[in-house]
A and B are shown apart, each in its own frame.
Chain A
Amino acid sequence: MTWQSFFDTSTMAHRHLLAAYATVLVVQAGYFGWIAWNWFHTKERRY
């Protein structure tokens, strides 16, 4: 498989393969980003 065929959306099988990988990466990156955002917006205890 190549990058071109990975992003090929002409068949249902290829669309679903791309959707599955995109879902995994978006959900994991989104959750990580949410934690990071909260990390920088939660005050650190000073003592």
Chain B
Amino acid sequence: MEQRTPTLRNVAWLWFGIAIAVLVVGFRQAIFLTPADAAQGDVGRIFYYHVPIAMLSLLFPYINFAASLTYLFWRSRDPLKALTADALALASAEVAVVYSSICLVTGMIWGRVAWNIWWTWDARLTSMLILWLLYVSYLMLRRFSSTGQSQTLAAVLGIFAAVDVPIVYMSIRWWRTQHPAPVFGGGANSGMDKSMLPGFFWNLAGWAIWGVLILLFRFALERRRQLAEQEAALHAIEASLETPQ
């Protein structure tokens, strides 16, 4: 344990450095090197942050889904393994809320200029808002439930919440929306100009590396909190046994 911790810390710092470096390159590509969009002008540069973060916001719910299933599987078989899965479920739900919040806010900021409105109740925006609400309610349930079963209830909610992810993804394919058509895999007219690709992929890589960093950091924090709680409980039991009768 004493040897593993410094190694993990060095890997974490290296990962942090790589994330910052890739994000700096991505920012430079998006703002300074890529030409302005022919139709939208400079406000089209919001695309380079909005789209990669929106795509990544649909991945973290699946980590929550897998961790929630794992928690339910181990809950009565091996509670210590279940606690680890629960920590990952919590971390992934929080990161999903962070990424989907940014997706919604940057989309609204762009929409006010492009559409002259902050919001419209079209299928993509509404399904994304529902996804955000589901994971906010997941976190609220964990924070405020006093049943003693909040981890189990949260795991069940996490499994149901993941159902919204394919609906968000398919919404611009199933329904005609005000939201722009799919950039990738949307038919003959989809795709982006070659000059936009470096800005897009550097930012996709940068926010993906950053997302993994904050997910693992939050997971490690939750594990540290769980272990401190266990230690405190153990001390309390020991203290109660030492109390003279």
Contact = CB atoms under 8 A, between A and B. Distances in A.
B31 A6 contact: yes
A17 B46 contact: yes
A24 B102 CA distance: 6
Which size bracket describes the interface of A in this complex?
Answer: 20 to 34
Contact of B214 (A16, A24, A35, A47): A35
Contacts of B50: 20
B229 to A, nearest CB: 10
Contact of A32 (B42, B45, B214, B230): B214
Contacts of A12: 112-113
Count chain B CB atoms within 10 A of each CB in A12, A14, A24, A32 and give the residue with the most.
A24
A44 B53 CA distance: 33
Contacts of B153: none
Interface string B107-134: 0011011000000000000000000000
Contacts of B43: 13-14, 16-17
Interface string A13-47: 11011011101100110011001101100111111
Nearest to B5: A44
A23 to B, nearest CB: 5
Contacts of A16: 43, 46, 109-110, 112-113
A23 B36 contact: no
Contacts of B81: none
B231 A45 contact: yes
B228 interface: yes
A39 B27 CA distance: 29
A18 B45 CA distance: 10
**Residue with the highest number of chain A CB atoms closer than 10 Å, among B46, B50, B220:** B46
A42 B221 contact: yes
Contacts of B49: 20-21, 24
A42 B228 contact: yes
5 nearest A-B pairs in the assembled complex, by CB-CB distance: A13-B43, A45-B227, A20-B46, A20-B109, A20-B106
Interface of A: 1-2, 5-6, 12-14, 16-17, 19-21, 23-24, 27-28, 31-32, 35-36, 38-39, 42-47
11 contacts: A2-B32, A12-B113, A13-B43, A16-B112, A20-B50, A27-B98, A27-B101, A39-B220, A42-B221, A42-B228, A45-B228
Given A13-B113, A20-B46, A32-B214, 16 more contacts: A1-B31, A1-B32, A5-B42, A12-B112, A13-B43, A14-B43, A16-B112, A17-B46, A20-B109, A21-B27, A23-B106, A24-B102, A35-B217, A42-B225, A44-B228, A45-B228
